[in-house]
């Protein structure tokens, strides 16, 4: 469910704003987000969790734009952060520390220090080595850091091998069968308070079964740990709920919530870390046709958006449904084409064999479900500027991240003069 629809004139709009208006004002490529969809997804998920003692800690990595975060913070969201930068963003929009969890396999000492100072709800710890650093940093600050181990339940789940994290062969978490021993070690540390258990098995999971088996294993572990005398107050179940991409259906939040109720019950405080579910279908990537290239074997639509603006098709073979922004009048003769970017790599392909009405230079094309892991994974490859972002709300829109100028893109580079004719190896 989203708020990108065609108006009576056949023009694709984000809520009440025609996309060509945004293209003219901001230029393309550009990401466009619908605030109404963000609000709706947050509320649908919250309502699905009714009856549970839950905290929705939005996973910033999916889309950390401050305007997106501010809206979610106003709706009551907490934050799942994985870096000092994300912690800073969460704090800037006023997300209270008791609604922030810190995840990630490689937290640095200084990031741990920032999170200890902020007094966050919980560190989701991924290794004994990390636990030792948290203990030391918290101890030096005269504090005890609240921790959960991220346990790896050894289940296979996730839309793509690169985003499946719950199998024991991945770098994530500690093996669930070693958890009791590790919790015992944690309890003995003066800078640590054991508060919970954490699990996250992957992303874009469309089937309820892996969640059921992972949560079932966590419930068993919680019982053992409580019997061992640990005060397990929080169970963080991570994110990963699969969403619709084009015609492919997602995992209904209600189905997911039923699995949570059936396995974890209602007695413990539960933290959820959805990212994609909240923002995925709230965003589209808007691009212009630069050229129609029809003189080779295939018909290419060359766009001004590239793999560095939306990396998912290249990286995961992901399909973001392409649509034309202006629907043709009457019966247009649809033709099969490949939508590609201008970057010098043959992997710079958004979609192959797509049936679209005739297109010409200057026409607009939009890709769906681009709100999650879209703009945030963009780069300046080929010295193309970072793609800007726009938020629409009703009839209004604002640029929430502008396109950098050439000067801004160059500003971090410093000259360092090196002689062109120096001889290799000479003193
Ligand atoms: N919690 C943890 C610990 C995570 O690692 C992730 C995602 C989430 C929550 C949020 O998962 P979500 O609800 O969004 O599925 N770049 C990839 C996705 C990587 C996901 C990494 N972790 C993509 O574009 O598909």
Ligand 1: which atom is nearest the Cα of residue 204? 15
Instruction: Examine the pLDDT at 156 and tell me if it is beyond 90.
Output: no
For residue 261, the CA-to-ligand 1 centroid distance in Å is 22
Q: Do residues 204 and 291 share a domain? A: no
Task: Report the pLDDT averaged over residues 286-314.
Answer: 96
Which two tokens mark 187?
């309890």
Collect contacts of 253-256 with beta carbons under 8 A, ≥24 apart.
253/44, 253/45, 253/48, 253/277, 254/48, 255/208, 256/48, 256/208, 256/211
Instruction: Identify the domain boundary among 277, 301, 318.
Output: 277
For residue 236, the CA-to-ligand 1 centroid distance in Å is 14
**Which 3-state string (H, E, C) describes 13-59?**
EECCEEHHHHHHHHCCCEEEEEHHHHHHHHHHHHHHCCCCCEEEEEE
Task: Answer yes or no: is the C-beta of 326 below 6 A from any ligand 1 atom.
Answer: no
What's the CA gap between 310 and 320, in Å, rounded?
9
For residue 1, the CA-to-ligand 1 centroid distance in Å is 20
- Neighbouring residues of 63: CB distance < 8 A, sequence distance ≥ 6: 275, 279, 283, 371, 372, 373, 374, 375, 376
Q: Do residues 88 and 204 share a domain? A: yes
Q: Do residues 149 and 263 share a domain? A: yes
Task: Answer yes or no: is the C-beta of 276 below 6 A from any ligand 1 atom.
Answer: yes
Q: Do residues 122 and 260 share a domain? A: yes
Residue located via tokens 């703009």: 375
Q: What does the pLDDT read at residue 218?
A: 97
For residue 62, the CA-to-ligand 1 centroid distance in Å is 7
What does residue 385 show for φ and ψ, rounded to 5 degrees?
A: -65, 155
Residue-averaged pLDDT of the chain: 95
Instruction: Examine the pLDDT at 160 and tell me if it is beyond 80.
Output: no
Task: Answer yes or no: is the C-beta of 103 below 6 A from any ligand 1 atom.
Answer: yes
Task: Answer yes or no: is the C-beta of 320 below 6 A from any ligand 1 atom.
Answer: no
Q: Do residues 240 and 214 share a domain? A: yes
Q: Name the residue of 59, 237, 242 whose CB sits within 8 Å of the most ligand 1 atoms, as the mutation to test its pocket.
A: 59
Task: Answer yes or no: is the C-beta of 58 below 6 A from any ligand 1 atom.
Answer: no
For residue 34, the CA-to-ligand 1 centroid distance in Å is 21
For residue 113, the CA-to-ligand 1 centroid distance in Å is 24
Q: Do residues 170 and 108 share a domain? A: yes
165-193 pLDDT, tens per residue?
Answer: 777 778 889 999 999 999 999 999 999 99
Instruction: Identify the domain boundary among 221, 242, 277.
Output: 277
Q: Do residues 23 and 108 share a domain? A: no
SS3 161: helix
312-364 pLDDT, tens per residue?
Answer: 999 999 999 999 999 998 888 899 999 999 999 999 999 999 999 999 999 99
Q: Name the residue of 203, 311, 379 whose CB sits within 8 Å of the most ligand 1 atoms, as the mutation to test its pocket.
A: 203
Query: Residue 102 sits in a domain of what CATH number?
Result: 3.20.20.10
Task: Report the pLDDT averaged over residues 245-249.
Answer: 90
Residue with the nearest Cα to atom 16 of ligand 1? 373
pTM: 0.96
Domain total of the chain: 2
User: What counts of helices (H) and strands (E) characterise the chain?
Assistant: 12, 21
- What is the band of 409 on the pLDDT scale with cuts at 50, 70, 90? very high
Which of 204, 202, 224 minimizes the C-alpha distance to 213? 202
- What is the band of 154 on the pLDDT scale with cuts at 50, 70, 90? confident
Instruction: State the chain's maximal CA–CA distance in angstroms.
Output: 75
Instruction: Examine the pLDDT at 423 and tell me if it is beyond 90.
Output: no
Active site residues: 344
Contact 366, 404 (CB under 8 A): no
Which of 47, 42, 99 minimizes the C-alpha distance to 280? 42
Q: Do residues 273 and 288 share a domain? A: no
Q: What does the pLDDT read at residue 388?
A: 98
- What is the band of 426 on the pLDDT scale with cuts at 50, 70, 90? low
Q: What does the pLDDT read at residue 121?
A: 98
Instruction: Identify the domain boundary among 261, 277, 293.
Output: 277
Q: Do residues 130 and 152 share a domain? A: yes
Which two tokens mark 377?
């994974």
What's the CA gap between 60 and 87, in Å, rounded?
9
Ligand 1: which atom is nearest the Cα of residue 277? 13
| Whole-number percent of the chain with pLDDT over 90 | 89
Q: Name the residue of 126, 149, 275 whose CB sits within 8 Å of the most ligand 1 atoms, as the mutation to test its pocket.
A: 275
DSSP classification of residue 209: H
Residue located via tokens 């969640």: 211
Contact 362, 289 (CB under 8 A): yes
Domain membership of residue 383 (yes or no) is yes
Q: What does the pLDDT read at residue 168?
A: 74
Residue located via tokens 């963080």: 236
DSSP classification of residue 375: G
Query: Residue 394 sits in a domain of what CATH number?
Result: 2.40.37.10
What's the CA gap between 154 and 161, in Å, rounded?
14
Domain membership of residue 132 (yes or no) is yes
Task: Answer yes or no: is the C-beta of 82 below 6 A from any ligand 1 atom.
Answer: no
Domain membership of residue 156 (yes or no) is yes
What's the CA gap between 309 and 155, in Å, rounded?
32
For residue 298, the CA-to-ligand 1 centroid distance in Å is 35
Instruction: Examine the pLDDT at 41 and tell me if it is beyond 90.
Output: yes
What does residue 161 show for φ and ψ, rounded to 5 degrees?
A: -55, -30
Q: Do residues 263 and 287 share a domain? A: no
90-146 pLDDT, tens per residue?
Answer: 999 999 999 999 999 999 999 999 999 999 999 999 999 999 999 999 999 999 999
Which residue range(s) make up the domain with 177?
35-277
Domain membership of residue 303 (yes or no) is yes
255-288 pLDDT, tens per residue?
Answer: 999 999 999 988 899 999 999 999 999 999 999 9
Q: Do residues 367 and 293 share a domain? A: yes
Q: What does the pLDDT read at residue 27?
A: 98
369-401 pLDDT, tens per residue?
Answer: 999 999 999 999 999 999 999 999 999 999 999
Cα atoms found within 13 Å of the Cα of residue 202, Cβ hemisphere only: 27
Q: What does the pLDDT read at residue 158?
A: 64
Domain membership of residue 418 (yes or no) is no
Contact 274, 63 (CB under 8 A): no
Ligand 1: which atom is nearest the Cα of residue 239? 13
Please state, as a whole number, how many other Cβ atoms lie within 10 Å of the Cβ of residue 211. 26
Buried b (16+ CB within 10 A) or exposed e, 237-249: bbbbbbbbbeeee
Task: Answer yes or no: is the C-beta of 312 below 6 A from any ligand 1 atom.
Answer: yes
Which of 285, 200, 276 minimizes the C-alpha distance to 243? 276
Q: Do residues 170 and 230 share a domain? A: yes
What's the CA gap between 49 and 360, in Å, rounded?
47
Contact 44, 203 (CB under 8 A): no
Domain membership of residue 307 (yes or no) is yes
Domain membership of residue 423 (yes or no) is no
Domain membership of residue 60 (yes or no) is yes
Task: Answer yes or no: is the C-beta of 63 below 6 A from any ligand 1 atom.
Answer: no
**Which 3-state string (H, E, C) describes 288-300?**
EEEEEECCCCCCE
């Amino acid at each position: 469910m989203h708020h990108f629809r065609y108006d009576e004139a056949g023009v694709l709009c984000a809520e009440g704003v025609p996309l060509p208006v945004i293209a003219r004002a901001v230029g393309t490529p550009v990401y466009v987000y619908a605030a109404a969809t963000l609000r709706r997804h947050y509320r649908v998920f919250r309502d699905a969790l009714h009856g549970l003692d839950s905290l929705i800690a939005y996973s910033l990595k999916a889309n950390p734009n401050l305007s997106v975060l501010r809206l979610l913070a106003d709706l009551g969201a907490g934050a799942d952060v994985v870096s000092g930068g994300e912690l800073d963003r969460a704090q800037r929009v006023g997300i209270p520390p008791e609604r922030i969890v810190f995840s990630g396999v490689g937290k640095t000492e200084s990031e741990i220090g920032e999170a200890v100072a902020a007094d966050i709800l919980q560190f989701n710890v991924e290794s004994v080595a990390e636990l030792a650093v948290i203990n030391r940093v918290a101890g030096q600050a005269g504090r005890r850091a609240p921790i959960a181990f991220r346990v790896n339940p050894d289940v296979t789940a996730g839309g793509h091998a690169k985003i499946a994290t719950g199998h024991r062969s991945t770098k994530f978490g500690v093996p669930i069968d070693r958890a009791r021993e590790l919790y015992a070690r944690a309890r003995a540390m003066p800078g640590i308070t054991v508060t919970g258990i954490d699990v996250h098995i992957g992303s874009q999971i469309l089937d309820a079964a892996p969640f059921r088996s992972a949560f079932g294993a966590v419930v068993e572990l919680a019982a053992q740990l409580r019997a061992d005398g640990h005060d397990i107050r929080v169970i963080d179940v991570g994110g990963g709920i699969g969403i619709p991409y084009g015609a492919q259906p997602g995992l209904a939040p209600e189905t997911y919530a039923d699995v949570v109720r059936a396995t974890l019950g209602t007695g413990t405080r539960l933290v959820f870390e959805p990212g994609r579910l909240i923002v995925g279908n709230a965003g589209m990537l808007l691009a212009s046709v630069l050229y129609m290239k029809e003189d080779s074997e295939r018909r290419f639509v060359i766009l001004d958006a590239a793999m560095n603006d939306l990396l998912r098709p290249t990286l995961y073979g992901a399909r973001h449904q392409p649509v034309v922004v202006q629907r043709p009048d009457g019966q247009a003769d649809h033709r099969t084409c490949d939508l590609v970017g201008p970057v010098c790599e043959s992997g710079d392909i958004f979609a192959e064999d797509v049936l679209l009405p005739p297109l010409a230079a200057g026409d607009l094309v939009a890709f769906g479900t681009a709100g999650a892991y879209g703009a945030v994974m963009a780069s300046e490859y080929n010295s193309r500027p970072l793609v800007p972002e726009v938020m629409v709300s009703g009839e209004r829109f604002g640029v929430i991240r502008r396109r950098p100028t050439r000067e801004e893109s160059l500003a971090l580079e410093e000259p360092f003069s090196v002689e062109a004719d120096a001889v290799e190896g000479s003193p």
